[in-house]
Structure 1
Amino acid sequence: MLGCLYVFVISVVIFSSVSSEAQMVPAVYVFGDSLVDVGNNNYLTLSIAKANHRHYGVDFPNQKPTGRFSNGKNAADFIAEKLGLPTSPPYLSLVSKANKNSNTSSFMDGVSFASAGAEIFDGTDEHYRQSIPLTKQVDYYTLVHEQMTREVGTPALQKHLSRSIFAVVIGSNDIFGYSGSSDLRKKNTPQQYVDSMAFSLKVQLQRLYDYGARKFEITGVGALGCCPTFRVKNNTECVTEVNYWSVKYNQGLQSMLKEWQSENGGIIYSYFDTYTVINDLIQNPASYGFADVKEACCGLGELNAKAPCVPVSKLCPNRQDHIFWDQFHPTEAASRSFVERIFDGSSSYTSPINMRQLVAA
């Protein structure tokens, strides 16, 4: 998840092998961006934000692209494995005309609404149909909720949802958008902008709560200024201004979550401090099994970050020792490392509890 992401097969391969661990929760419902998208954008005809070509998926089973912005699995896969579940399938794959077997049991088993390029704010993505903004993702969830209610009834559904995990991984694209828009920077100070992000996220979290969600895994944004795309413009060093915005948003997010919990009964959440984890990996890579913290594994030019990962890109020989897969996204190895800390992390990385404690609560 967790560091950087951004926008950018029609045949989708859905990873569904179940972890050897016993199933810990009924289902996982995933909301967010390309850090956890497992193929929704492949169903958006006009979207250019698709990981549907080589080298994406080079380390995935069958070595095929799946819509994940990774060389292999992403954080959504590893969270599901930790919980003893198959990866929640893309919502659009379940409702597509090509899927004649779509049924409510698919929804009961978990769904991913995540979409590459998605923001907390609606922005222009909905107009250009390049991604599914968070508001629309929650709209889709309300439709799923209605169908599940018809199938199993309100009491049974509420019990099911109250024990399920609602994972929300979003915010990076909003900050990328702010950093790249002189118009947004003229209209909002960084503090005003990140405060508005936190408020807008609260509105969508409240909608999920109103439709039965009770257990939330919510991630902050990473050290976005350390993405290869920013380093290559700054003599290979992190862009401190972008990291500053990331920190300010994360502070506002944590304050908002405490306030939101106090306003509603029954909410239990785990906040993952992505920024601190990314910073730790960058400062002490060898301690975590990494060697390269600056270069993208797939790309072109300096730091492999002058261009996106495309079929003609240069591919690094060892994906296991790189933190970054492309200009914005983590490698499979980095995503695995993040999820280890999401699930069993100390208070340095998770608050007020980690995911294992969230499941048991």
Structure 2
Amino acid sequence: MVNRGLISISILYALIFSFGSSKAQMVPAVYVFGDSLVDVGNNNYLPLSVAKANHRHYGIDFPTHKPTGRFSNGKNAADLVAEKLGLATSPPYLSLKSKTNKNNASFMDGVSFASSGAGIFDGRDERYGQSIPLTKQVDYYSIVHEEMIREVGAADLQNHLSKSIFVLVIGSNDLFGYFESSDLRKKNTPQQYVDSMAFSLKVQLQRLYDQGARKFEIAGVGTLGCVPVYRLKNKTECVEEVNYWSKKYNEGLRSMLKEWQSENGSIIYSYFDTYAAINDIIQSPPSYGFTEVKGACCGVGELNARATCLPLSNLCPNRQDHLFFDQFHPTEAASRILVDRLFNGSSSYTSPINMRQLIHA
């Protein structure tokens, strides 16, 4: 079963590329780093990982109507950013390195290193069995960087990378891990922990900068205390402590980015306030076309949040009505709204510029 599934992934990606946007290509490539919010299939190549969206009902609204490794009913944020930029979705790094891949795709076209369950911090993820933490994702990028130098030469590569977009969507799993670990909470105050998250992220951003990256799209964490699995623990209400420290991390992230830019004058970045964008939906669902912002579309029990989305789980008939598809992840409809804000958003969602401005900066 596993081998057949892996082989089908390569076929699926060939199909995905055929759904390319009709928009003019706006940047040379997109390089994606992060977690399940932007993973487009890397975890399907991790034999020990249980964080795999490789079964129904995931992908039910995807163009192929099949699971692809995305934790969504359809496309996720990585796909939708690519659409905005007139590009095909950057393929999973592990699919390009897989023995089943016969396409010899060029890394120059963009790559996704994102992995479900990944965090800023290193270490094996005890909840999900196996993921690719950010440090390892950047390690993989270093390998890709060397291969691209051999392909086109250092000067041409630097020109290519300086115009490409580096997307980072990560941090949620670190905060989930902190609030679910008595050991971590004994060792660190919440402030110490979120400060160390921002510092560790800065180290990895610098590694990317040192290897050619210049334009960065960096997302803060969302309203983590309002995901269905946390509402289930709190009588359907958001867990305010988790939301508070999500906001505090985002504040530290914004401060770190300003400091980092001042230390490296050629960095251009756009920060997206995921928290504000999701909170607006939660506060006024009808304004965004939603009728359900507490429960999951796919799951089991109260709020469909007592178990993750599995083949025998309940599935809502209209995914467009729901903010969340499963215990943690947004529907494609919600992701489209978030990416619209990320791309064209005002200063209430993006700073110091939005992605559209980042492209032309």
TM bucket (normalised to shorter chain) is over 0.9
Partners in 2 of 1:118 and 1:57 — Cα distance? 21
Partners in 1 of 2:241 and 2:320 — Cα distance? 29
- Summarize deviations over 1:258-297 as a string: whole Å, max 9, x none: 0000001210000000000010000011111111100100
Could you say which residue in structure 2 is the equivalent of 1:19? 21
Deviation at 1:19, TM superposition (A): 1.2
Could you say which residue in structure 2 is the equivalent of 1:230? 230
Could you say which residue in structure 2 is the equivalent of 1:329? 329
Amino acid at match of 2:158: Q
Deviation at 1:150, TM superposition (A): 0.7
**Matching residue within 52, 55, 66 for 1:53:** 55
Deviation at 1:129, TM superposition (A): 5.9
Could you say which residue in structure 2 is the equivalent of 1:285? 285
Partners in 2 of 1:101 and 1:297 — Cα distance? 36
Deviation at 1:98, TM superposition (A): 1.1
Q: Using CA pairs under 8 Å that are at least 6 residues apart, name the structure with larger relative contact order, 1 or 2.
A: 1
Partners in 1 of 2:315 and 2:231 — Cα distance? 19
Do the aligned partners of 1:57 and 1:70 also contact (CA within 8 Å) in 2?
A: yes
| Runs of 4+ deviating beyond 4 Å | 126-129
Could you say which residue in structure 2 is the equivalent of 1:85? 87
Partners in 2 of 1:126 and 1:155 — Cα distance? 42
Please state whether the residue corresponding to 2:64 is helix, strand or coil.
helix
Do the aligned partners of 1:126 and 1:132 also contact (CA within 8 Å) in 2?
A: no
Amino acid at match of 2:355: M
- Summarize deviations over 1:163-183 as a string: whole Å, max 9, x none: 000000000000000010000
Do the aligned partners of 1:107 and 1:148 also contact (CA within 8 Å) in 2?
A: yes
TM-score, normalised via structure 1 length? 0.95
Do the aligned partners of 1:126 and 1:133 also contact (CA within 8 Å) in 2?
A: no
RMSD: 1.2
Do the aligned partners of 1:30 and 1:167 also contact (CA within 8 Å) in 2?
A: yes
Partners in 1 of 2:184 and 2:128 — Cα distance? 19
Could you say which residue in structure 2 is the equivalent of 1:150? 150
The 5-angstrom pairing of residues 99-114 of structure 1 reads 99-103=101-105, 106-114=106-114
Please state whether the residue corresponding to 1:151 is helix, strand or coil.
helix
Deviation at 1:33, TM superposition (A): 0.2
* Equivalences, count: 351
Percent identical = 78
TM-score, normalised via structure 2 length? 0.95
Could you say which residue in structure 2 is the equivalent of 1:320? 320
Do the aligned partners of 2:50 and 2:129 also contact (CA within 8 Å) in 1?
A: no
Could you say which residue in structure 2 is the equivalent of 1:298? 298
For residues 271 and 128 of structure 1, do their structure 2 counterparts lie closer, same or farther at Cα, with a shift above 3 Å needed?
closer
Do the aligned partners of 1:57 and 1:65 also contact (CA within 8 Å) in 2?
A: yes
Amino acid at match of 1:21: K
The 5-angstrom pairing of residues 210-289 of structure 1 reads 210-289=210-289
Partners in 2 of 1:177 and 1:184 — Cα distance? 8
Amino acid at match of 1:202: K
Could you say which residue in structure 1 is the equivalent of 2:194? 194
Deviation at 1:100, TM superposition (A): 2.8
Do the aligned partners of 1:19 and 1:86 also contact (CA within 8 Å) in 2?
A: yes
Partners in 2 of 1:71 and 1:355 — Cα distance? 25
Deviation at 1:101, TM superposition (A): 3.0
Could you say which residue in structure 2 is the equivalent of 1:6? none
- Summarize deviations over 1:295-344 as a string: whole Å, max 9, x none: 10000000000000001100001100100000000000000110000000
Gaps of 5+ in 2: none
For residues 321 and 219 of structure 1, do their structure 2 counterparts lie closer, same or farther at Cα, with a shift above 3 Å needed?
same
Deviation at 1:127, TM superposition (A): 12
Partners in 2 of 1:146 and 1:276 — Cα distance? 38
For residues 129 and 300 of structure 1, do their structure 2 counterparts lie closer, same or farther at Cα, with a shift above 3 Å needed?
closer
Partners in 2 of 1:183 and 1:354 — Cα distance? 38
